[in-house]
């Protein structure tokens, strides 16, 4: 007599040999996403891509909490700007490697196929919604503060809303500019972006990289270069003013405070999601 298997019973090993639909493996981490690509730039910087939760929506420029399972069995999470644009089917992150950092001492060793934890609750102030309409959009970044702008530079709205997009990036060393430089260069040949925005959108971008501790074509902190007027002369644009200019800032705390004061001095006011104005600021890391 043939036995009838109750539907609630676990399938026998032989069942795997049939044409039955494959059962998805249970993720080994809560909110697990799979790493698809990793690129190292310096001994302190790398980027990686991972799968995107099917239901996760975000605005270009926002950040999420990501991490790994800690040795104590609890998730070890940190805030990370999403470096990919809202339309991308994967997610990209640009990361520091802090050798004794609880998370990045481990995260720097991830490989394609590994899993990371990603809490799909994006938030943040570096979003178009927090700015009033303007003509020229400035992105001011130091170090990994470039990450949210990697997202916004690939966001069609950035070019729809502004005639000109100026991205300044200040790092200590030349190698720390590579991720941003390559990303901006790649926009010229990105087929999908060209399809979405037409062939000339990248001509609106003005890239202004500077270094402070290694020789490069433009040396100095962006704040000093603005104060002296050198930055505006190099770019051939007037000093920022609230009628035409909008700004997004992402860097270390001292940089954020300094540039915030300068922007206020130019007459710009800080905006928020609920109260759009002329500029917005976010920390690239906590101290």
Ligand X SMILES: Cc1cc2nc3c(=O)[nH]c(=O)nc-3n(C[C@H](O)[C@H](O)[C@H](O)COP(=O)(O)OP(=O)(O)OC[C@H]3O[C@@H](n4cnc5c(N)ncnc54)[C@H](O)[C@@H]3O)c2cc1C
Ligand Y SMILES: NC(=O)c1ccc[n+]([C@@H]2O[C@H](COP(=O)([O-])OP(=O)(O)OC[C@H]3O[C@@H](n4cnc5c(N)ncnc54)[C@H](OP(=O)(O)O)[C@@H]3O)[C@@H](O)[C@H]2O)c1
Under the rule (CB under 6 A), what is the footprint of ligand Y? 44, 142-143, 170-173, 212-213, 221, 223, 252, 254-255, 258
Query: Is 248 a residue that touches ligand X (CB under 6 A)?
Result: no
Q: Which residues pair with 211 in a beta bridge?
A: 171, 219
Query: Is 101 a residue that touches ligand X (CB under 6 A)?
Result: yes
Query: Is 20 a residue that touches ligand X (CB under 6 A)?
Result: no
Q: Which two tokens stand for residue 204?
A: 């609106």
108 interacts with, out of ligand X, ligand Y, none, CB within 5 to 8 A per kind: none
104 interacts with, out of ligand Y, ligand X, none, CB within 5 to 8 A per kind: ligand X
Q: Say if CB 114 and CB 45 are below 8 A apart.
A: no
Burial tier of 196 (Cβ tally within 10 Å: 0-12, 13-18, 19+): middle
- What Cα–Cα distance (Å) separates residue 51 from each residue in 47, 151, 177? 14, 16, 26
Return the beta strands (E) in 153-219 as ranges. 164-171, 205-211
Half-sphere exposure of 27 (CA within 13 A, CB side): 16
- Interactions with ligand X, residue window 71-90 (CB under 6 A): 78-81
Query: Is 103 a residue that touches ligand X (CB under 6 A)?
Result: yes
- Interactions with ligand X, residue window 105-144 (CB under 6 A): 105, 143-144
d(CA 172, CA 143): 8
d(CA 195, CA 255): 37
**How far apart are CB 102 and ligand X at their closest, in Å?**
4
Task: Show the site string, 39-78: x = touches ligand X by CB under 6 A, - = not.
Answer: ------------------------x--------------x
d(CA 165, CA 167): 7
255 interacts with, out of ligand Y, ligand X, none, CB within 5 to 8 A per kind: ligand Y
**How far apart are CB 164 and ligand Y at their closest, in Å?**
22
The conformation of residue 39, written as its DSSP 8-state character, comes to E
Instruction: Single out the residue of 47, 86, 95, 211 in contact with ligand X (rule: CB under 6 A).
Output: 95
Residues that bind ligand X (CB under 6 A): 63, 78-81, 94-96, 98, 101-105, 143-144, 147, 282-287
């Amino acid at each position: 007599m043939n036995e009838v298997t109750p539907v609630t019973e676990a399938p026998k090993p032989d069942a795997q040999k049939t044409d039955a639909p494959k059962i998805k493996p249970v993720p080994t981490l809560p909110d697990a996403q799979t790493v698809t690509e990793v690129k190292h730039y310096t001994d302190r910087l790398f980027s990686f891509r991972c799968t995107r939760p099917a239901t996760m929506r975000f605005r270009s420029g926002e950040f999420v909490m990501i991490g790994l399972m800690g040795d104590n069995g609890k998730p070890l999470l940190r805030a990370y700007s999403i470096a990919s644009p809202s339309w991308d089917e994967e997610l990209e992150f640009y990361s520091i490697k802090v050798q004794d950092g609880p998370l990045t001492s481990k995260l720097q060793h991830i490989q394609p196929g590994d899993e990371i934890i990603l809490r799909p609750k994006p938030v943040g102030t570096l979003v178009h919604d927090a700015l009033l309409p303007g003509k020229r959009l400035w992105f001011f970044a130091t170090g990994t503060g470039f990450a949210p702008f990697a997202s916004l530079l690939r966001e069609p709205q950035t070019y729809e809303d502004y005639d000109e997009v100026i991205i300044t990036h200040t790092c200590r060393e030349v190698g720390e500019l590579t991720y941003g430089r390559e990303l901006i260069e790649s926009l010229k040949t990105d087929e999908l972006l060209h399809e979405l925005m037409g062939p000339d959108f990248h001509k609106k971008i003005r890239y202004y990289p500077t270094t402070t501790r290694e020789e490069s074509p433009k040396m100095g902190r962006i704040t000093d270069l603005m104060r002296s007027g050198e930055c505006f002369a190099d770019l051939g644009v007037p000093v920022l003013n609230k009628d035409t200019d909008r700004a997004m800032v992402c860097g270390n705390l001292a940089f954020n405070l300094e540039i915030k004061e300068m922007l206020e001095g130019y007459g710009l006011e800080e905006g928020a999601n609920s109260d759009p104005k002329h500029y917005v600021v976010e920390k690239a890391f906590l101290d």
